[in-house]
Amino acid sequence: MSPSDSDAIFSALADPTRRAILSLIGEHEELAAGEIAAHFDTLGRTAVSSHLRILRLAGLVSERRDGRFRHYSVTPTPADAVVAFLTSVYQNSLEQLASAVQDASAAGEAPSDRAEERSA
C-alpha cells in the first residue's frame, strides 16, 4: 500500500458530505448517483458526482454501469489503509481498538452512531 493511497483515502474521508454519502451507500447495497443526490437537497448532481469521483479514485466505492444509470457500492476492504495507520499510532492501545471493533460488531447491524454522519 502506497502513501498516496492513504492520502487519497484520508482526503476523501475529510469531507463530511463524502462520509455521509459513504454511510448512505453503506446502508443499501447499491445506489444510483441520482438516488444519492436526492438525499441531499442542498447539493446539485454535479457536486454529488464530483464527490463520487473522489470516492471512486480513492478506492472507497466502485461503480457498476447499468444503462444510463451508474450504481455505486462500497468497496469491501479499503479500510486497510486506515487500520494500518491506526495500528501504527495506537499500538499501545491496540487491545482497546480491537475490543471497540468487536463491540461494534457484536452490537448488531444497525449501530445508532450512523445518524451521526448525516448531511451537515
Partner DNA sequence: TCGGCTTGTCAATACTTGCGCACACATCGT
Partner DNA sequence: ACGATGTGTGCGCAAGTATTGACAAGCCGA
Q: What is the three-class DSSP state of 115?
A: helix
How far apart are CB 19 and a copy of itself at their closest, in Å?
6
Binding mask 18-47 for a copy of itself (x = CB under 8 A): -x--xx-xx---------------------
Q: Which is nearer to a copy of itself, 68 or 99 (CB)?
A: 99
Which residues in the 27-56 window bind DNA by CB under 7 A? 32-35, 37, 42-54
Distance between CA 92 and CA 84 in Å, rounded?
14
**Joined grid coordinates for residue 57:** 479514485
How far apart are CB 75 and a copy of itself at their closest, in Å?
9
- Phi/psi region, residue 66 (left: phi>0; alpha: psi -120 to 50; beta: rest), is beta
Q: What is the three-class DSSP state of 28?
A: coil
What does each C-alpha distance from 63 to 59, 110, 115 come to in angstroms? 10, 24, 25
Angle between helices 94-106 and 80-89 (to 10 degrees): 140
Residues in contact with DNA by CB under 7 A are: 11, 14-15, 17-18, 32-35, 37, 42-54, 63, 67-70
Residues in contact with a copy of itself by CB under 8 A are: 1-3, 6-7, 10-11, 13-14, 16, 19, 22-23, 25-26, 74, 76-77, 79-80, 82-98, 100-102, 104-105, 109, 111, 113-114, 116-118, 120
